Amino acid sequence: MSASKSFTIFLVVCLAMIMISIVAPPVEGARAFFVFGDSLVDNGNNNYLVTYARADSPPYGIDYPSHRPTGRFSNGYNIPDLISQYLGAESTLPYLSPELRGQRLLVGANFASAGIGILNDTGIQFANIIRIFKQLEFFQVYQTRVTALIGAEETQRLVNGALVLITLGGNDFVNNYFYTPVTARRLQYSLQDFSRYLISEYKKILTRLYELGARRVLVTGTGPLGCVPAELAQRSLNGECAVEPQRASEIFNPLLVQMVRDLNQEIGSDVFVAVNTMQMQNNFINNPQTYGFITSKIACCGQGPYNGLGICTPASSLCPNRDLYAFWDAFHPSEKANKIIVKTILSGSQNYMFPMNLSTIMAMDSRT
């Protein structure tokens, strides 16, 4: 065999090995992670959109490893990042990122978009955002892209075996029902009836996720909406949690747990897990010093009363130590608060995680 022919064969073998490494299925035990929802879990999709709902300027990202804004509404890591770390995986890329291709698709994807809600009319003031059913359409396209890499059977296995996080509901209250003193939804529904309507629509979304292959889904409720700095600044009397938004959380979250219970019974399996983020956050809001915070009322970054007016910008008041503040900006927890939330997602009792926590899910699934 001539030297030139041997070299040609060597190049072909090398290229084949490279291609296999690019499109190989995930290694045994690896788990993809998919994220849907709003700004609490957006990893930067809105950076690629013409919208007012963006976190792409300083001081966002000040404590992220790059110390630069990434599109996350946080000083550092957000909840999906911290869950990815627990899974032993890199953070999921935004679905709109041009870097989401090849082998990186197999890690999963983040479809979340700041400003969206359960309802299509939520967040209209933010203009161009990825509403939830569009996120689900992107999930279908994602599966088509992965099928081209690893085939239909492996793609189904990857999706069925993935962990999914979905976070919705808060914007439907603060950026819809309560957005102005008089709104179309307020005229249409009482707070109790609006909450029930949201739950019925959320159930349709979760059912569609199941149809698209999701089999382990963490479903978060709202946080204590009346206690965030934005609501304290606009509605609070003497620093107490604003009554109406807080009542909305107290109505919505138990309804969500019951809906998850009913949906699992209909399916015949514990596909969906209700995450009681309201109670998780109430713990450090009511007892901030116990968790190492100096305040749970004042945001680290912002302006006005409680730093709760407007958005966080380079001109905003900025605290020197973000770990001392439960809230990063007017609406979003700090990275340290996110770590407390994720720790409870991992190991919390049924008061926080129904019917089971993430550690139990991982242990159960490792045996199947």
pLDDT in tens, 20-70: 333 333 444 469 999 999 999 999 999 999 999 999 999 999 999 999 999
Q: Which of 110, 215, 248, 129 is nearest to 167 (CA)?
A: 110
Told to judge if 359 belongs to the known catalytic residues of this protein, a careful annotator would answer no
Choosing from 39, 91, 316, 334, the catalytic residue is 39
Q: Which of 286, 179, 303 is nearest to 239 (CA)?
A: 286
Q: Tell me what the mean pLDDT of segment 139-168 comes to.
A: 98
Instruction: Give the three-class secondary structure for 348.
Output: coil
Choosing from 42, 91, 329, 334, the catalytic residue is 329
Q: Tell me what the mean pLDDT of segment 131-158 comes to.
A: 98
Choosing from 42, 296, 316, 332, the catalytic residue is 332
pLDDT at residue 206 above 50? yes
Report the chain's mean pLDDT, rounded to a whole number: 92
Pairing of strands 108-110, 353-354: unpaired
Count other C-beta atoms under 10 Å from residue 30's C-beta: 14
DSSP state letter for 173: I
How far is residue 9's CA from residue 159's CA, in Å, rounded to a whole number? 37
pLDDT at residue 301, as a whole number: 98
Pairing of strands 163-167, 217-220: parallel
Told to judge if 323 belongs to the known catalytic residues of this protein, a careful annotator would answer no
pLDDT at residue 237, as a whole number: 83
* Tens of pLDDT, residues 209-244: 999 999 999 999 999 999 999 999 999 988 999 999
pLDDT at residue 368 above 80? no
Count other C-beta atoms under 10 Å from residue 286's C-beta: 12
How far is residue 362's CA from residue 338's CA, in Å, rounded to a whole number? 20
Told to judge if 38 belongs to the known catalytic residues of this protein, a careful annotator would answer no
Pull the structure tokens for residue 305. Answer: 């009363």
CB 113 within 8 A of CB 107: no
Pull the structure tokens for residue 155. Answer: 């793609």
Establish how many alpha carbons lie within 13 A of residue 149's alpha carbon, considering only the half-sphere containing its beta carbon: 24
CATH number of 29-278: 3.20.20.370, 3.90.420.10, 3.40.50.1110, 3.40.50.720?
A: 3.40.50.1110
* Tens of pLDDT, residues 289-345: 999 999 999 999 999 999 999 999 999 999 999 999 999 999 999 999 999 999 999
Residues above pLDDT 70, as percent of the chain: 92
pLDDT at residue 113 above 90? yes
Instruction: Please report where in the chains the tokens 């107290």 appear, as a residue.
Output: 250
What is the helix (H) or strand (E) element at residue 138, kind and residue range? Answer: helix 132-150
pLDDT at residue 12 above 50? no
Instruction: Give the global pTM.
Output: 0.91
Q: Which of 333, 334, 329 is nearest to 312 (CA)?
A: 329
Residue 182, class by beta-carbon neighbours within 10 Å (0-12 exposed, 13-18 middle, 19+ buried)?
exposed
CB 361 within 8 A of CB 272: no
How far is residue 304's CA from residue 302's CA, in Å, rounded to a whole number? 7
pLDDT at residue 2 above 80? no
How far is residue 202's CA from residue 274's CA, in Å, rounded to a whole number? 12
317: left (phi over 0), alpha (psi -120 to 50) or beta: beta
